[in-house]
Amino acid sequence: MQEKNYEEYAVSHGWKALATKLVRIGNNQDIDKNGRFINAPISRGSTVIYPSVSAMRNSGAENLYTHKTIYGAMGSPNQHLLEQVMASIEGGTHTQVVSSGLAACTVPLLTYLSAGDHCLLMDSVYGPTRRFADRVLRRFGVEVSYYAPELSPQEVEKLFQPNTRVLFVESPGSHTFELQDIKALSSIAHRHQSRMIIDNTWGIGIFQPFQHGVDISVQALTKYANGHSDLVLGAITVNNDKDWQLLRETTVMLGEVGGPEEAWLTLRGLRTLGARLEKQSVSALKIAKWIANQPEVERVLHPALPSCYGHEFWKRDFTGASSLFGVVFKKPVTPEHVITFIDSLSNFGIGASWGGYESLVMPTDGEINRTYKSHVLTGAACRFQIGLEDPEDLIKDLEQGFGILRNSL
């Protein structure tokens, strides 16, 4: 295969393919009724009223699988519009919007697992997903175990048990950014009658999960989809009616719902996703390469760089990159030195989230919980989210930060 120019690829491919779609889908679907505005109005509400009892009974709204809202806890027109858009971005048939990205991870686990089943998760899944598996799934009689992200699919297959029903993967992994051979893992999961769930928040739009055999794809819409750091929301996408019915049932029974205002704001955020990520991904790659050249840096964990574990799967399966990456420092840099470095930066907020318009940084040491010793974290580390600022300003800030780091050693 011809070697790709990563920068060019990251810029021109993924977001270009999405840009037109993101402008056209999910516009006002009843333009005459809604005053001919291009955007759908916000419809808030709990109570739904009908002109008569028979109209209520004949509305079809008791059917969970229609989107005729009988009550606000079953969703709103804004939520359902966003669901159509997300299904299209993910390349699936149906999306269920839920109250947070974490709920998007936990609802499918509750849907597909019962007492006596086994759930196999990648060791670098998002921390609160892991906490849910350890504390809630185990309490309900589900066996939970983890696999080291560096294992080959054949080695992962050896960890399947006769009762394994779910394989939960995040690619790239949280904080350590290992990419996985999703195609191989999904066929292994299916061979063992298991469902494969992927947390696709990093890969929004640039990784098409269902083309690689994934059954359920979840996303924190909180991050890039909304993009403005002003709400939390999640999406669960599937690729057939049966899976959607199962998920929809669990969601409604749990009372899980995404607020109409959050859905409306996320839909607005999605209009600029292509433009935002085109800029953010280019800036992130430029900054990642700049950081990789600093003498104190051991390794940059950016999926579009060969120094990231599983980079070959990024090259094979992704059509672009987003703007979150990690940095591992060389010894003698300690976690305390990294804190001094982070505290010295003025153009980066210190915060745990990502996907918004602003650049962020956080230390990685002490923040993550793993079953296996990470092959990647060989030294003190931190994570960067690159926003919409001028990358030259960010690099200037980093230059002075590395100066302070150097003087502190």
Q: Which is nearer to ligand PLP, 170 or 296 (CB)?
A: 170
Residue 143 CB neighbours (<10 A): 16
Q: Which long-range contacts (CB under 8 A, 24 or more apart) does 395-398 make?
A: 395/286, 395/287, 395/290, 397/345, 397/346, 397/347, 397/348, 398/287, 398/290, 398/291, 398/345
CA 265 to chain centre: 18
The two three-digit tokens of residue 5, written as one number: 């120019």
Q: Which is nearer to ligand PLP, 199 or 298 (CB)?
A: 199
Q: Which is nearer to ligand PLP, 105 or 380 (CB)?
A: 105
**∠ CA 288-290-294, rounded to 5°:** 110
CB of 223 to ligand PLP, least distance (A): 7
Coil, helix or strand for 298?
A: strand
Contact partners, residue 120, CB within 8 Å, separation at least 6:
145, 146, 147, 156, 159, 160, 164, 166, 167, 168, 194
* Nearest-angstrom CA–CA distance, 284 and 341: 19
Coil, helix or strand for 360?
A: strand
Query: Longest Cα pair distance anywhere in the chain, in angstroms?
Result: 78
Q: What is the DSSP string of 265-284?
A: HHHHHHHTHHHHHHHHHHHH
Q: Which is nearer to ligand PLP, 127 or 153 (CB)?
A: 127
Residues at the contact surface with ligand PLP, assessed by CB under 6 A? 100-102, 105, 126, 170, 174, 199, 201, 220, 222, 232, 234, 353
CB of 22 to ligand PLP, least distance (A): 20
CB of 403 to ligand PLP, least distance (A): 31
Q: Which is nearer to ligand PLP, 218 or 398 (CB)?
A: 218
* Nearest-angstrom CA–CA distance, 192 and 164: 7
Q: Which is nearer to ligand PLP, 221 or 282 (CB)?
A: 221
Q: Which is nearer to ligand PLP, 16 or 131 (CB)?
A: 131
CB of 88 to ligand PLP, least distance (A): 21
CB of 222 to ligand PLP, least distance (A): 3
Residue 67 CB neighbours (<10 A): 17
Q: Which is nearer to ligand PLP, 218 or 338 (CB)?
A: 218
If you compute the radius of gyration of the chain from its CA atoms, what whole number of angstroms results?
A: 22
DSSP structural state of residue 330: P
Q: Which is nearer to ligand PLP, 101 or 269 (CB)?
A: 101
The two three-digit tokens of residue 204, written as one number: 């929004």
Residue with the CB atom nearest ligand PLP in the bound state:
101
Token look-up 């760089």 returns 305
Q: Which is nearer to ligand PLP, 59 or 353 (CB)?
A: 353
* Nearest-angstrom CA–CA distance, 217 and 292: 32
Q: Please, is 172 exposed, middle or buried when counting C-beta atoms within 10 Å of its C-beta (0-12, 13-18, 19+)?
A: buried
CB of 232 to ligand PLP, least distance (A): 4
Contact partners, residue 279, CB within 8 Å, separation at least 6:
388
